[in-house]
Structure 1
């Protein structure tokens, strides 16, 4: 049984404890990941703290290192992608795309130039300017659904801004992140980038350490709230990308056949395990039967299976806990009178396979509609009044993303601007512009990732005010 290593202070090191990582397609052990001890967590943070003063001084060296990191990841892209499929379940061609996106993100931030902050006053008597200062040690805590790209979206801007980083991946998908310790070894000075693994106790120690100045986290609302509360005593800076319950509103002038494929992938990509996946669809009653029929036909044709098999479109649910949650949501919907049109039951094992499931007959007050199912189950809900559809879409503590579908893009823009979400799309869902910040309203997040706004999350502003005479 292969065992992976922690990456601390420029060295690959072992641990006294290991835990199994399960392949969700076979329920077999892929390999063992190290459980970082309390001393090792502290060592990683201390190493990052020690490396910070020299790393933060030389921006040109930071850009070079990020470019070299992108090259190193491309050279090992096949190895990284295979691990993603083994531990997370996604089809291999999608995993390859994730790794390519990670390399491109590193290059993007290597070449990222902040607009200059011009002095507020500069004359013979006085100099007043606003300057950016890196924060120090950043804790990056990452999720299991898209383990590498969501990691790099945190690490690349943090490093470019002059911070040092300690990474803690999900215990369900740590292997691809731990492999980065080997892939990137020697590219960054010792201590600049550190990778530890373990469960929530490891994450708690990392996030509560007094030398950690910033936490950047993607994951559940429940964990995000704990991090938010835990950071208060030390007033740590936070970026939280949390859950979503994204609504799609299909207006009466939309073409059901033209949009069904896009809505299907907006909901079911990665077997629905995406924070901003479509999780409920409100359809005008005039076209409800046609769109429902088109979505049923597409869901029945979807190819579900092991991510290494040819032509597979959807892999398994990533872990047993989430698998049971998805089954609960369907069972609860049935108790509330739901009608299941496709799927509706787990596939025969082994593996955590659940087919794309289309559900009608449910609405507000049912868990499948009100909560984040984070799986391949989609409720389709008819409406007759556009204002009521907007109300239903907004009647949620979540506010990550939403989309409006219509033959008139200007009409769609007018509607989507009434939705309380950070990501608003018209006639598409899930497109992320590289220069745009990504964040959520309400329970869906705090702070931003991406774009100038996201980059500035990794620095403080200092006002320098000097009397010259």
Structure 2
């Protein structure tokens, strides 16, 4: 199925890719449009016919793909750091996670099973792939989030058209080239470009499943576009995770762990800690401990050895962080650490810990997605839980305290998809990952992610008459 090719950038155009550590262009990528999407989906559909037919061959190809990704790590990691900004060690970790996910899903095969209900009918449940899958990926974890979409989709027998963010297309293009050396032609195609490329892909009539990670606003638009062809959608959207500290928490013991849960990848993590609620009695100590850790953090280009926090990825996101921080300070908040952009080239912002923040401030109720952490006091535990649940998001949350049974009881009251005790944002490849409220639709991870890329197919047979 094709469009008429209208709309989008002219064929053959290119766009610049910036290094967030300098703000300067260092590369470029194809600015593709509707004709390119048509061609990619057509190739995916053609490849699907044979790719879906041989589970053993698929598993072998995914294992080979994992090996190829690892072998290309020395090329992928510096490129990822240049365009995304994260420290080089984190880029290598992202590549390792990508390879691990390919191996995990290579071993995940849906099995048929019999269904009986006492009637003289034998029913067998089987599973069928869907067809071409559109994977639209953001800029914070370009390779890891891409593999979270294409690994289960490919393992299920689907083919994939992958569109990275225009802020981080280069490492994904290189990844696509690496994978094309071991996967059949058309099984995985990377398309790059600026708006409206993602919308063109998500609404393409030949796509049978759209899997998207990004903001809730864009997720709504993706779902509306996919609805035209009644394609299945999986939406992994924003988060505003709260960490509740109980009154028995050992502040000094958990401060470093809590800081890293909030500021990893410069705070640009959907399931990062984005708000901390501390008992009023411990509030000054919590603010001080987190502020000291923020002041000690080494901020610099991701390629520099020793860098702990890189830059914010792009100018628009840095402006958002500055706007939320400035609004909070204007409304009476205090910057216990940071509170400002750093005076250097690139998109650097000081690691910021905010105290005395008005509870309704945008930096509290919205997803700031940057190196800024508001810390708020609470009186009663009921008050803390109500505040933690008081946003439109519901991705994750955590509870921190010495009595872990009590912490787990409190965690059970959080309105979110995942809750952690005394840590945050750590996931197993085997577990489901989902959100409630405006944090998403559908489930990723583990067998749930695999079956989300499959359609049930039931075969009924009459049993022989025993007479």
What TM-score do the two structures reach when normalised by structure 1?
0.95
- 1:399 and 1:274 mapped to 2: Cα distance? 14
- Give the aligned partner of residue 55 of structure 1: 51
What is the CA–CA distance in structure 2 between the aligned matches of 1:428 and 1:196, rounded to whole Å? 37
Partner of 1:384: 379
Map 1:25-424 onto structure 2 (within 5 A). Answer: 25-114=21-110, 116-121=111-116, 126-424=121-419
- C-alpha contact (below 8 Å) 1:439/1:445 kept by paired residues: yes
Deviations along 1:359-408, one digit per CA (max 9) or x if unpaired, are 01113221010100000000000011000100000011100000000101
2:4 is matched with none
The answer as to whether partners of 1:155 and 1:165 remain within 8 angstroms in 2 is: yes
Which ranges in structure 2 are unaligned for 5 or more consecutive residues?
1-9
Shift, 1:123, TM fit: 11
Taking structure 1 as reference, are residues 123 and 384 closer, same or farther at Cα in structure 2, changes over 3 Å only?
closer
Normalized against structure 2, the TM-score is what?
Answer: 0.95
- Supply the RMSD in Å over aligned alpha carbons: 1.5
Q: Size of the alignment, in residue pairs?
A: 455
Cα deviation code 1:291-322 (max 9, x no counterpart): 11111110100000011112110000000000
Provide the secondary structure at the position in 2 that maps to 1:460: strand
Between the aligned partners of 1:371 and 1:182, the Cα distance in structure 2 is 37
Counterpart Cα distance in 1 of 2:399 and 2:252 = 16
Shift of 1:183: 1.2
Deviation, 1:28, is: 1.4
Q: Which moved more, 1:200-209 or 1:311-320?
A: 200-209
What is aligned with 1:459?
454
Q: How far apart, CA to CA, are the structure 1 residues paired with 2:348 and 2:21?
A: 7
- 8 Å CA contact 2:328–2:358 kept in 1: the answer is no
Separation of aligned partners in 2, 1:306 and 1:113: 42
Hey, what's the Cα distance between the residues in 2 that align with 1:373 and 1:125?
Answer: 59
- C-alpha deviation, 1:237, in angstroms: 0.5
Instruction: Give secondary structure in 2 for the equivalent of 1:267.
Output: helix
Question: C-alpha deviations, 1:96-140, integer Å up to 9, x for none?
Answer: 1110111111111112244x3421249996431111110101000
Q: Structure 2: how far apart are the matches of 1:211 and 1:37?
A: 16
| Paired residues of 1:122 and 1:128 also in contact (CA < 8 A) | no
